[in-house]
Amino acid sequence: MSGAKTEELPRIQDALKGELLKEHSLKKTEANEKNVLPSAEDVKQEKNHQNMLSGIEGFAAEKLKPTETKEKVVLPASSDIQAEKTHQGLIQGVETFSAEKLKTVKTREPQSPAATLQVEMARDSSLAAVETFDKNVLKKSETQEKNPLPDTDAIAQEMEHIKFKTGIEGFDRKSLSHADTVEKNSLPTKEIIAQEKSA
CA 30 vs CA 3, 27, 33: distances in Å: 42, 10, 10
Per-residue pLDDT band at 3 (split at 50, 70, 90): low
3-state secondary structure string across 104-139: CCCCCCCCCHHHHHHHHHHHHHHHHHHHCCCHHHCC
pLDDT at 184: 74
Q: How many CA atoms lie within 13 A of 190 on its CB side?
A: 0
Alpha carbon 97 to its chain centroid, in Å, reads 35
pLDDT at 183: 73
Length of the chain: 199
Ranges 71-75, 174-178, 183-187, 193-197, most confident: 193-197
- Spell out the long-range contacts of 10-17 with Cβ–Cβ below 8 A and sequence spacing 24 or more: none
Compute the chain's Rg from CA coordinates. 47
Please give the mean pLDDT across all residues of the chain.
83
- DSSP tag of 99: G
Residue type at position 124: D
pLDDT at 68: 85
In this predicted model, what pLDDT tens digit does every residue of 80-121 receive, in sequence order? 899 999 999 888 888 888 888 888 888 777 778 888 888 889
pTM, rounded to two decimals: 0.20
pLDDT at 4: 64
Whether residue 2 has pLDDT greater than 70: no
Q: Are 67 and 75 in contact (CB under 8 A)?
A: no
pLDDT at 158: 92
In this predicted model, what pLDDT tens digit does every residue of 17-34 receive, in sequence order? 777 777 777 778 887 777
- pLDDT top residue among 1 and 179: 179
Percentage of residues in the chain having pLDDT higher than 70: 96
Residue type at position 71: E
In this predicted model, what pLDDT tens digit does every residue of 123-136 receive, in sequence order? 998 998 888 888 88
- pLDDT top residue among 183 and 121: 121
Q: Are 76 and 84 in contact (CB under 8 A)?
A: yes
Closest CA to 161 of 169, 173, 172, 151: 169
Q: Are 133 and 126 in contact (CB under 8 A)?
A: no
Where is average pLDDT lowest: 56-70, 72-86, 149-163? 56-70
